[in-house]
A = this chain, B = another copy of it.
Amino acid sequence: MDILAEKKKAIFESTLELIKENGFHGTPMSMVAKKACVACGTIYHYFDSKDTLIAELYAYVKKQMADAMFEGDDEQKEFKDRFYHLILSHCRFYIKHPNTLYFIEQYINSPYNNREPVKDNEQFQHRMWDFLKQGIDTGVLKPMNIHLLGILIHSHVVTTAKLYFSQRVKINEEDFPNIVQVIWDGVKNHSD
C-alpha cells in the first residue's frame, strides 16, 4: 500500500486533471497512462476498466473532500458558527481543488453516476446529516427533510465555487460570507 499506492495515486491525479481539461471521453486511457508515467497495461493492474477507475476516483475525491470539510469543526461552538465554518471550508476545498470540483460535477451529471454504485462514502453524508438534524431538533433550522436540506446546501456551495472560476461573474473569497448568508438565511428557522 505504498509503492503501489503511489502509482495508483499518480493514476488518480492524472485522470482527475485530464478529465477536468477534456472530459471523460476526451481522456483516453493511453493519455492517462502517459501523464501518470506508466504503461497502458499497468492501469489495468489496479483497475478493472475505465469505468471502475472513474468510479473509484469518485470515491477517492469524495473522501478527501469529507476530510477537509470537517477539519477544524468545533462541536463546542454555536450552531451558526459551525454552519458557516463548514460551508466556507467546503467552498475553499473546491477552490483549492478545481480538478475535483469539475470532475465531480461531470461525474454526477453523467451516465457513469448510476452505473457502478461504488458504495458512496456515506460517512461524510451521515456526519452532515447528524449536524443538520441537530440544528432542526434545536429549532435553529427550518424543520425539513435533512437529505433535502443537505443537497440544497451542497448545491449552493458548488455553485459558489464554480462562480469563483467563471469568467462572467467575478467574485473572490471576501464575497463568500455574503453568499453563505444567503443559504443560511434560507435554511434557518425564522419563526423566532
Contacts and interface: CB of A to CB of B under 8 A. Distances in A.
Contacts of A155: 155-156, 158-159
Contact of A102 (B21, B23, B109): B109
A23 B147 CA distance: 26
A37 interface: no
A144 interface: yes
Contacts of A169: 145, 147-148, 151
Interface stretch (A3-11, A52-60, A81-89, A178-186): A178-186
A24 B112 CA distance: 12
Given A185-B185, A186-B182, A23 B148 contact: no
Contacts of A24: 25
A178 B111 contact: no
A105 interface: yes
Interface in A104-136: 105-106, 108-112
A168 interface: yes
Contacts of A26: 111
A152 B179 contact: yes
A168 B182 contact: no
A144 B23 CA distance: 33
Most buried by B among A112, A147, A148, A163: A148
Contacts of A145: 169, 171
A77 interface: no
A22 to B, nearest CB: 6
24 contacts: A23-B111, A25-B25, A26-B111, A109-B109, A142-B182, A145-B171, A147-B168, A147-B169, A148-B163, A148-B179, A151-B159, A151-B169, A152-B159, A155-B156, A155-B159, A156-B156, A182-B186, A183-B186, A184-B186, A185-B186, A185-B187, A185-B190, A186-B186, A186-B187
